[in-house]
């Protein structure tokens, strides 16, 4: 076997100790918050049948699915002529039956349908797992990334929509981030469509509005013109987009303008939602009604959620919404649900940019034993067990012969705050020389005194900074 | 889109709330123990380049790798004639560049080589992630399963081998399982080879001995005969296998018989290892020297580890060993390391069979609010936030109109121990009726009294049983 220069596939990442600890800090807050609201964990396989995945994410999505070659003689069942003609698309289904999951929502829907007879509805689940997309990798966009989803299915109660906002606020409050929670309702978007008197080009209208942030009012105007909307329709649309004021002022304005059924319902739902979350806004959490928010349409039918950081330009760090018929495609119709998904990578980047990770988001070793001979090493083995029983993370430098400077350097490199040195003198005294690696101070202590010193202080882990 | 009957790929599994909680219970103990010994977390991508994976697990392993089709027009670069002739093996590399990881050891070696200039050695890492093998699925064998590995690389100190045994003992002690830790050393096996005067057929010899448990001494004898060992060699082998007594007696016997270099070294290493772990054995943890243990050879060069349950027939629930040149294939030679891997699924099965999961290994909701009108629901929303601030998991039954019986059934189905009922009377009194779902007892309490009652008791979560 020849030597290889190793690498990893583009768009994927290794996470070293520091990164894993920081990612887990975020994940633990999200998971804990979900559990406090009665959401229960679910884990699904990384591989799903292609029949489950294909056709769920549009034509573009089908292309972005990672497909797995069938095992063994994978060409066996493929059409020889199609192979010779290199018709990749046409032979695909005979070469591959499985793919990597593209999101956590479709597997959730698949799970609910498979287990519908065992599940008590409404069914609240959270799922924190990686997903894969064969997108072109770029800054902040990866081919393997985590999603942190909570969904509830089997109820159309707006209470659940409201609790989503509360969970979002709780998570970002715990993370110490200032954010704006943007809310809209798909029926408000439909109401706009009713208002301008155009029910056919609904999708084109919403797609154009969704881009307001990026292309401005002029851009929206141009796009609508291209799509064949009349000047009157365009004017009415811009009128709606220009409605100013706070959330309740905006809702009042719309209430007067919207006379269609969907629009009325949308305004009523948004009003009810905001009445339930009146207490959520705080000095760090803004909550805003944004009637241009569409989240690229997807399958949302009710409330739509998006969160952006108030301090870092980063795009949305959470998205979500209500959908009326997620499981219909798998044979279980009319199940209404609502869900949100935290963007772990972007939240990580925001916390990094603001330097907002706490010192406790690390799992450094707390004490390194440095022994000078075999007897000292035996003592260290015993002492280390005593420390571990008290939940103190410690290790013994494994190579007796190494130079002392090398042992201390190991502690420094690994940001270990204390070394417990054992030489012949310490052995006789049945003590260790505890060295503070930051101050350089040393103290001769019994192992009980070491434990006392390390556990007596609250928040000892913070010393690892 | 037509309706589909959904399923998941064979050999894969969904994990519902109960299973996730139980699996996390095991994983948390393993992770916590690893951290106490100074091992730090690492996570690598699910996809690795096939150039990293191929050739590392033998010919059979290459076949069992799940390969990922290149994105887009995947047939483009393949040879048309080979395609037409359906030469699956020959076109593979032009169709696929990536595969799913097969274990955590090769990605670890790849990571170490890539980051050798940033890493402080000896480098201790743990990694708990799923792996994939296109094996034929059967009871207890899955195509997607978790490995829980700890490895240290960059030191040949036997202290590290000893700490592996301590970590194993700590984990199984915390899990409350009675196990036997079997230990051997590859050099002892080489010593056997020296002893019978045959250094060429080393692999055949060890492969035969490794099967002793399964095929018995007669079986080993037959296999050696088939492989062309002389009668004298077979007799000498059986003599060694018949050595009885405890660990130190066995070692003494071997010490007298083994005169070759490797054998002497192996015995000396096993003796040193056992002297360092003299304190590990307990009423539940047996530690035994087993000179037939080979763990299918693989790449081990020193200590070999295996753990079996003393109470459930299940095969090995942990394996591991020392290897002298894991990173050589990636261009970093002479790095000695030692590692172990807990078998999560089998440990789960053992705990299930012995009914040894604690009640705390669940994340059930603790209180369900049952409101009878919109005002009561508003009150419930406020109370729920107060409970969550005190870390009490609670939810509000979302559909006001549902029948009361249905609401209580929801609590029962989800094993929620308390309902907090709010009707008009409770509203006036600013209290809730707290109903114990097991006893049926009810008590009118303020929300502060509810918090008092639920948090005042130690181990409240245990009530969810």
What CATH number has the domain bearing residue A132? 3.30.930.10
pLDDT at A198 (0 to 100): 78
Is residue B94 in a domain? no
For residue A398, the domain's CATH number is: 3.40.50.800
Q: H or E stretch including A267?
A: helix A261-276
CA atoms B367, B372, B376, B378: torsion sign: positive
Residues B339 and B381 in one domain: no
Residues B346 and B369 in one domain: no
Q: Please list every residue in chain B whose beta carbon sits closer than 8 Å to the beta carbon of residue A134.
A: 71
pLDDT category, B272, cuts 50, 70, 90? Answer: very high
List, in sequence order, every residue forming a beta bridge with A395; answer none if it has no partner: A368
Q: How far apart are CA A287 and CA A281, in angstroms?
A: 6
Q: Residue B459: is its pLDDT beyond 60?
A: no
Residue B69: which of A95, A329, A364 has the nearest Cβ?
A95
Is residue B460 in a domain? no
Q: How far apart are CA A358 and CA A302, in angstroms?
A: 37
pLDDT at A200 (0 to 100): 78
List, edge to edge, every strand of the sheet that includes B285-289.
B40-41, B123-132, B144-153, B337-343, B316-323, B303-309, B179-185, B285-289
pLDDT at A462 (0 to 100): 41
CA angle A295, A300, A306 (to 5 degrees): 40
pLDDT digit string, tens, across residues B62-84:
999 999 999 989 999 999 999 98
Q: Please list every residue in chain A whose beta carbon sits closer than 8 Å to the beta carbon of residue B382.
A: 279
pLDDT at B247 (0 to 100): 87
- Count other C-beta atoms under 10 Å from residue A1's C-beta: 8
Q: Please list every residue in chain A whose beta carbon sits closer than 8 Å to the beta carbon of residue B42.
A: 14-17, 20
A191 and A264 in contact (C-beta within 8 Å)? yes
Residues A46 and A194 in one domain: yes
Decide if B155 and A35 are in contact by the 8 Å CB cutoff: no
Torsion of CA B76, B81, B86, B91, to 10 degrees: -50
Residues B336 and B370 in one domain: no
Q: Please list every residue in chain A whose beta carbon sits closer than 8 Å to the beta carbon of residue B43.
A: 14-15, 20
CA atoms B321, B327, B328, B330: torsion sign: positive
A221 and A211 in contact (C-beta within 8 Å)? no
pLDDT digit string, tens, across residues B30-60:
999 999 999 999 999 999 999 999 998 888 8
Q: Best interface-test mutation with A: which of B2, B4, B6 has the largest number of A CBs within 10 A? A: B6
Residues B195 and B230 in one domain: yes
Residues A116 and A209 in one domain: yes
pLDDT at A458 (0 to 100): 37
Listing DSSP states for A12-42 in one string gives ---B-HHHHHHHHHHHHHHHHHHHHTT-EE-
Decide if B395 and A37 are in contact by the 8 Å CB cutoff: yes
Pairing of strands A432-436, A418-422: antiparallel
- Å between B239 CA and nearest CA of chain A: 36
Residue A9: which of B47, B331, B391 has the nearest Cβ?
B47
Is residue B207 in a domain? yes
- Count other C-beta atoms under 10 Å from residue B207's C-beta: 15
* Percent of chain B residues topping a pLDDT of 90: 81
Q: How far apart are CA A34 and CA A163, in angstroms?
A: 10
A432 and A450 in contact (C-beta within 8 Å)? yes
- Region B411-416: mean pLDDT is 95
Is residue B464 in a domain? no
A239 Cβ neighbours under 8 A, 6+ residues apart: none
Of the residues B354, B387, B417, the one at which a domain ends: B354
Q: Residue B464: is its pLDDT beyond 50?
A: no
Residues A278 and A408 in one domain: no
How many domains does the structure of chain B reveal? 2
Q: What is the ipTM of this complex?
A: 0.91
Report CA-CA distances (Å) from B396 to A160, B18, B383.
Answer: 9, 21, 10
pLDDT category, B133, cuts 50, 70, 90? Answer: very high
Q: Best interface-test mutation with B: which of A56, A59, A68, A377 has the largest number of B CBs within 10 A? A: A68
Residues B274 and B404 in one domain: no
pLDDT at B212 (0 to 100): 87
Q: How far apart are the first and last CA of chain A?
A: 44
Q: Please list every residue in chain B whose beta carbon sits closer than 8 Å to the beta carbon of residue A388.
A: 36-37, 170
pLDDT at A5 (0 to 100): 77
Q: Give the single-character DSSP code of A310.
A: S
Q: H or E stretch including A290?
A: none
Is residue A240 in a domain? yes
Torsion of CA B284, B290, B295, B301, to 10 degrees: 120
Is residue B461 in a domain? no
CA atoms B10, B15, B16, B22: torsion sign: positive
Residues A212 and A236 in one domain: yes
Range of the domain at A431: 364-455
Q: Residue B461: is its pLDDT beyond 90?
A: no
User: What predicted TM-score, i.e. pTM, was given to this entire model?
Assistant: 0.92
- Å between A284 CA and nearest CA of chain B: 17
Q: Distance from CA of residue B42 to its chain's centroid? A: 15
Nearest to B447 by CA among B459, B456, B458, B434: B434
Q: Please list every residue in chain B whose beta carbon sits closer than 8 Å to the beta carbon of residue A42.
A: 14-17, 20
Q: Residue B299: is its pLDDT beyond 90?
A: no
Local confidence pLDDT in tens for the 465 residues of chain A = 445 578 999 999 999 999 999 999 999 999 999 999 999 999 999 999 999 999 988 888 999 999 999 998 999 999 999 998 999 999 999 999 999 999 999 999 999 999 999 999 999 999 999 999 999 988 878 999 999 999 999 999 999 999 999 999 999 999 999 999 999 999 999 999 999 987 778 888 888 888 888 898 899 999 999 999 999 999 999 999 889 888 889 999 999 999 999 999 999 999 999 999 999 999 999 999 999 898 876 678 999 999 999 999 988 999 999 998 889 888 899 899 999 999 999 999 999 999 999 988 778 999 999 999 999 999 999 999 999 999 999 999 999 999 999 999 999 999 999 999 999 999 999 999 999 999 999 999 999 999 999 987 533 444 333
A371 and A400 in contact (C-beta within 8 Å)? yes
pLDDT at A325 (0 to 100): 85
Residues B303 and B219 in one domain: yes
Is residue A28 in a domain? yes
Pairing of strands A367-371, A394-396: parallel
Residues A201 and A348 in one domain: yes
Of the residues B326, B354, B382, the one at which a domain ends: B354
List, in sequence order, every residue forming a beta bridge with B152; answer none if it has no partner: B124, B338
Of the residues A327, A354, A381, the one at which a domain ends: A354
A31 and A126 in contact (C-beta within 8 Å)? yes
User: Any idea which residue has 């002739």 for tokens?
Assistant: B85
pLDDT digit string, tens, across residues B302-342:
999 999 999 999 889 999 999 988 898 888 998 999 999 99
Residues A294 and A388 in one domain: no
Is residue B82 in a domain? no
pLDDT at A363 (0 to 100): 81
């Amino acid at each position: 076997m020849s030597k290889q220069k190793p690498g990893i596939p583009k768009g994927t990442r290794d996470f070293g100790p520091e990164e894993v600890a920081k990612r887990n800090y975020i994940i633990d807050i999200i998971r804990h918050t979900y559990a406090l609201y009665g959401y229960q964990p679910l884990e699904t396989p990384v591989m799903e049948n292609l029949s489950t995945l294909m056709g769920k994410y549009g034509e573009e999505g089908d292309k972005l699915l990672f497909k797995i070659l069938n095992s063994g003689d994978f060409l066996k069942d493929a059409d020889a002529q199609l192979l010779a003609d290199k018709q990749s698309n046409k032979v695909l289904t005979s070469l591959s039956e499985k793919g990597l999951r593209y999101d956590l929502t479709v597997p959730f829907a698949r799970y609910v349908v498979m287990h519908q007879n065992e599940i008590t509805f409404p069914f609240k689940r959270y799922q924190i797992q990686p997903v894969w997309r064969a997108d072109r990798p770029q800054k902040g966009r990866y081919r393997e990334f985590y999603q942190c989803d909570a969904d509830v299915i089997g109820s159309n109660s707006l209470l659940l929509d409201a609790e989503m906002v509360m969970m979002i606020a709780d998570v970002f409050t715990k993370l110490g981030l200032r954010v704006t929670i943007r809310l809209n309702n798909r029926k408000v978007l439909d109401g706009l469509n009713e208002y301008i008197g155009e029910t056919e080009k609904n999708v084109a209208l919403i797609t154009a509005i969704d881009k307001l942030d990026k292309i401005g009012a002029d851009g929206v105007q141009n796009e609508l013109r291209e799509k064949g909307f009349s000047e009157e329709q365009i004017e009415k649309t811009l009128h709606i987009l220009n409605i100013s004021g706070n959330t309740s002022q905006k809702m009042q304005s719309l209430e007067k303008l919207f006379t269609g059924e969907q629009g009325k319902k949308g305004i009523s739902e948004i009003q009810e939602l905001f009445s339930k979350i009146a207490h959520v806004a705080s000095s760090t959490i803004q909550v805003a009604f944004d009637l241009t928010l569409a989240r690229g349409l997807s399958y949302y039918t009710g409330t739509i959620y998006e969160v952006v950081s108030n301090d870092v330009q980063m795009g949305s760090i959470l998205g979500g919404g209500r959908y009326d018929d997620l499981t219909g495609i798998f044979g279980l119709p009319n199940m209404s649900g609502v869900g949100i998904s935290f963007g772990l990578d972007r939240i990580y980047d925001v916390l990094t940019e603001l330097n907002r990770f706490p010192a406790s988001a690390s799992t450094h070793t707390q004490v390194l034993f440095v022994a000078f001979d075999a007897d000292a090493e035996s003592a260290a083995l015993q002492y280390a067990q005593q420390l571990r029983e008290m939940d103190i993370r410690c290790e013994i430098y494994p190579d007796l012969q190494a130079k002392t400077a090398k042992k201390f350097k190991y502690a420094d490199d690994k940001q270990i705050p204390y070394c417990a040195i054992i030489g012949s003198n310490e052995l006789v005294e049945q003590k260790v020389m505890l060295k503070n690696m930051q101050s350089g101070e040393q103290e001769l202590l019994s192992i009980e005194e070491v434990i006392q010193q390390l556990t007596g202080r609250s928040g000892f882990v913070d010393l690892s900074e």
